[in-house]
Amino acid sequence: MRARVVYFEGCPNAEPAERLVRNVAADVGVEIEVARVEVFTPEDTVRERMLGSPTIQIDGVDVEPAARDRRDYAMSCRVYAGGEGLPPRAMVRAAITGEAYQTSDGACGCSSKGCCS
């Protein structure tokens, strides 16, 4: 399994995002290769599918289900569900294990509208 943390220089959440992915993978017993991918230009954000920094992708798929169809790539800070700069552990776990992601209120995190938008 491969993970990518796509970020721009100076992002305070790039290193914590990498640690989060490694820790969650270890917790569920999955071997994972994590690469940090730095972007420098708006064109890079499109090529790397960065929806803000840091964007976490597992085997090429964004960890946030509601963001998977988005195309608003940008050199900006990423805000995940819940208004944080890192995704919830449960979201990363679901992306790694292939389980459905449920938000803390029990809603499905797959909708492009509502809790995760």
Distance CA 82, CA 116 (A): 8
Sorted by where each starts, the structural domains of the chain and their CATH numbers stand as 2-97 (3.40.30)
Quick: pLDDT tens for 24-46. Answer: 999 999 999 999 999 999 999 99
Quick: pLDDT tens for 59-79. Answer: 999 999 999 999 999 999 999
Name the average pLDDT for the chain.
89
More confident of the two residues 81 and 42: 42
CB distance 91 to 80 below 8 Å: yes
Q: Is the pLDDT of residue 80 over 70?
A: yes
What token pair was written down for 83?
Answer: 């208004």
This prediction's pTM: 0.85
Length of the chain in residues, anyone? 117
Q: Is the pLDDT of residue 116 over 80?
A: no
CB distance 62 to 52 below 8 Å: no
What token pair was written down for 108?
Answer: 């499905």
